[in-house]
Structure 1
């Protein structure tokens, strides 16, 4: 499997919001929370919208991650090792996003089972 290049990983480590676009009808990026570790990038869907980035990627549509002024094309997969890496993804979310106030509510919420089952791993294309 192809790995992400360092500039993408560094951007995700340094920025709380990262742009995602998925689906053939999408022209704009939606800023979401992403975490990276072991040269892998993950995000969890917060909402249940049928036309969300998560559902588009799950259905096999191509996506893109925007990092600064750059874009990398991606596909999304449900991680094959999700049961094993869930504690690591949870820890990454809490470390990055549990900064107090409203963020704490969402940081802890995204580690709940309903959101864990909507974990997506991004795989670079090209």
Structure 2
């Protein structure tokens, strides 16, 4: 229920929105629209997350144009899917997502529409660093997993969300 905004709210109006901050000011705070970052996020199904977590290559297509799917490395952290660009090419998937954040992934024979969201949190990027090192440990892949933790690639940390 929205607050009437008159300062003398009817019983039940705003009563659930009184918290420490509003108590300090001495008034109830009318409910607001939640910022985009705190809205309920769509999540991948558990089976999809398991396939991404257990697979070595994720097939991805950035943008909505008629482009082929390419294989990249992906990790799952806290039931969220993250990818990084190793080469950061001008015409590559990362730069395409910066221009147009919609795309698709192929998992277990299914094409799933996704939205790419650039990740900024330092702690989250650290967790993604560790996830890459844990997942890609073979002698042939460890060098690239380490490179994905360097500043250039770290800056490309992108969360893929179903849309």
Same-fold call, TM > 0.5?
yes
Alignment match, 2:161:
123
Contact 2:101–2:117 at 8 Å: present in 1 too?
Answer: no
More strand by share: 1
Cα distance in 1, alignment partners of residues 88 and 66 from structure 2: 17
> What RMSD in Å do the two structures reach over aligned CA positions?
1.3
Structure 1 spans left out of the alignment, 5+ residues: none
Of 76, 83, 97, which residue of structure 1 is paired with 2:122? 83
Q: Counterpart of 2:100?
A: 60
TM (norm. structure 2) is 0.71
Deviation at residue 9 of structure 1 after TM alignment: 0.4
Offset of 1:8 from its aligned partner?
1.3
Instruction: Answer yes or no: is 1:98 the counterpart of 2:137.
Output: yes
The 2-side partners of 1:16 and 1:108 are apart by 16
Name the SS of the counterpart of 1:56 in structure 2. helix
Q: CA deviation at 1:2?
A: 0.8
Q: How far apart in 1 are the matches of 2:112 and 2:146?
A: 29
Q: Is 2:58 the partner of 1:18? A: yes
CA contact (8 A) 2:56 2:74 kept: yes
Instruction: Work out the CA distance in 1 between the residues paired with 2:134 and 2:101.
Output: 30
In 2, Cα distance between equivalents of 1:10 and 1:116 = 24
Matches within 5 A, 1:41-56: 41-56=81-96
Determine if contact 2:88/2:153 at 8 Å carries over to the other structure: no
TM-aligned CA deviation for residue 23 of structure 1: 2.0
- Tell me whether 1:71 sits opposite 2:71 in the alignment: no
1:34 paired to 2:74: yes
Distance, in Å, in 2 between the alignment partners of 1:67 and 1:79 is: 22
2: CA distance between counterparts of 1:72 and 1:85?
24
How far 1:24 sits from its partner (Å)? Answer: 3.1
Identify which of structures 1 and 2 has the higher relative contact order when contacts are C-alpha pairs closer than 8 Å and 6+ apart. 1
